[in-house]
Chains A and B, each alone.
Chain A
């Protein structure tokens, strides 16, 4: 185990809907870095994130966060500790305003939120313009900004993102990855899962390749990008 790992997964096994979605994986997320899990549909990426977030209970294995075992804790406790999930498909609250969406991100906090709301509005000036608009009326890219902003409202140490580029135009995807880098620069560790392996590996410090519930390869983003088998399987070149 690396000494600077903020999050460490050991032999994680997850059964999901009767099938073995994750078959004993181990990986580390070093503090302050962007780490990505790439893999095809059904490789077990989402199940891994959902398990870390506490939405799914693992069959076996341990999840260690800042030296503490958080395996099987409920989502409220995990969000309070500083791990937050940007769910797949953004899942913003469509009938609530942008501001209400942001406030809900800070649900586990009871202190003053005005500084954090301003911080999010600085990161995403577009959201400031749309403050009183219903979340469902935003464009896809703006909704993704809102989903990220909402997650940041809990003041996370680790932000986990499930397919942030899903269903977005290529130009918007580039914008989202710029946001991810910016958020990371501000001190938030990012765990990212993506099918868009090209963008993900270019952005990430470290990457893991997940295939049918197992980690088959790992290394720096640049190293994986150059790897012939990764190229063939995920980059389509």
Chain B
């Protein structure tokens, strides 16, 4: 065992990246409990966590396997609905599904677990966590199951044709979920609500006041764990096979790599994590509505992947945070009619101007970073490179 660990030693860059991630996660807990909890910072952190997971999952299929898939919003929708349907508390169902005279499903997963552990105190918390986790995993599995079924015919297509087929799938799914006949399950075109959200994970004391706030930490932790799993996959022999398929299908096949199997695997795993991200998105928004999972959402995520660098996990994560921070927070003042400091009002700062500036920034980024901010590099590669350079410099000096 020890021998194996030694052989698969992590590079120092990877180790530093992991440590920095852990420090940042801890910092979020500290900030959350010391700063004003209504700060915009936490809203954008939550949303960015969700987007970084979808972006990385899209990158897995587009950037690492070379399959141009645009079905991400559809898989997120499947995940969000699965999560919502399975976790709306039984007593809430009547009011949520009032148009359809109640829901076809009359239990919630956390309710089932709380039946075992009790609803109060630690038992209630365990029930909630288990129920939510199981719902998140099922959200991923449902998305992956659909991906498997549509992958069978669709993955025979290449490049643009695959993109069109997957985009079409996402649109169809969106329409189907709004269908009246499914109303008792999906609530038709109306929203699902009342299920546990991120703030359900704040630890409350006996009086019901929040003792420890974890609502921004939770999504970041889940996204970080999922992305870590994807990184492990990419660095395994499967990940190498995905890259081989991206680079040259004929050569990959000649090496004995089963193209259909590996494409399907990459597509399903990517969809699994999109489904998980869909569940997280539902928790972030506190409501689920098919209308919000448009193709514009997929394009937004595709944009993040391209800005970050196609084929770089670090790039996707970095770009998600930058993108969400800019579009939701830092550039907000452009819509408000005034500069953020002083009392200067600017006449052309009005609704929509934010998006004009944002588009210009994106164009500049794409012009100057042709292969995205990170190219195909990862944080760990950059750290290793600088360390190697510093070492050679030192040796040269001696």
Contact = CB atoms under 8 A, between A and B. Distances in A.
Contact of B256 (A93, A94, A103, A154): A154
Q: What is the size category of the interface that chain B forms with chain A?
A: 10 to 19
Contacts of A84: 254
B386 to A, nearest CB: 16
Most chain A CB within 10 A, of B252, B253, B254, B376, is at: B254
Interface string A149-160: 010001000000
A150 B252 CA distance: 11
Contacts of B237: 103, 107
A94 B250 contact: no
Given A92-B251, A93-B247, A76 B240 contact: no
Interface string A138-178: 00000000000010001000000000000000000000000
Interface string B248-263: 1011111111100000
Nearest to A153: B255
A204 interface: no
B174 interface: no
A77 B248 CA distance: 20
- Chain B: interface secondary structure? helix
Given A95-B376, A100-B240, A103-B240, A108 B256 contact: yes
Contacts of A105: 255
Contact of B250 (A78, A79, A91): A91
Contact of B247 (A96, A103, A108): A96
Given A79-B255, A79-B256, 9 more contacts: A75-B254, A75-B258, A87-B251, A91-B250, A96-B247, A103-B237, A104-B244, A107-B257, A108-B255
B93 interface: no
A91 B248 contact: yes
A97 B398 CA distance: 31
B241 interface: yes
8 contacts: A76-B257, A87-B251, A91-B248, A93-B243, A96-B240, A103-B240, A107-B257, A154-B256
Interface string A119-150: 00000000000000000000000000000001
A205 to B, nearest CB: 25
A91 B253 CA distance: 11
Interface residues of A, number: 25
Contacts of B255: 79, 104-105, 107-108, 150, 154
A154 B257 CA distance: 12
Interface string A69-87: 0000011101110001101
Contacts of A40: none
Sort A-B residue pairs by CB-CB distance and give the 10 closest, nearest first: A79-B256, A91-B251, A93-B247, A108-B256, A76-B256, A85-B254, A104-B244, A107-B255, A91-B248, A87-B254
Contacts of A92: 248, 251
Nearest to B243: A96
A104 B240 contact: yes
Contacts of B241: 104, 107
A53 interface: yes
Given A93-B244, A107-B237, A87 B256 contact: no
A87 B247 CA distance: 14
Contacts of A25: none
Nearest to A96: B243
Most chain B CB within 10 A, of A79, A93, A150, is at: A93
Nearest to A103: B240
A91 B254 contact: yes
A89 to B, nearest CB: 9
Contacts of B247: 93-96
A75 B250 CA distance: 11
Given A74-B258, A76-B256, A103-B237, A96 B251 contact: no
Contacts of B257: 76, 104, 107
Nearest to B251: A91
Contact of A55 (B243, B244, B253, B258): B253
Contact of A76 (B244, B248, B251, B258): B258
Contacts of B244: 93, 96, 104, 107
Contacts of A87: 250-251, 254
Contacts of B250: 55, 87, 91
Interface string A26-61: 000000000000000000000000000101000000
Interface string B134-151: 000000000000000000
A62 to B, nearest CB: 22
Contacts of B248: 91-94
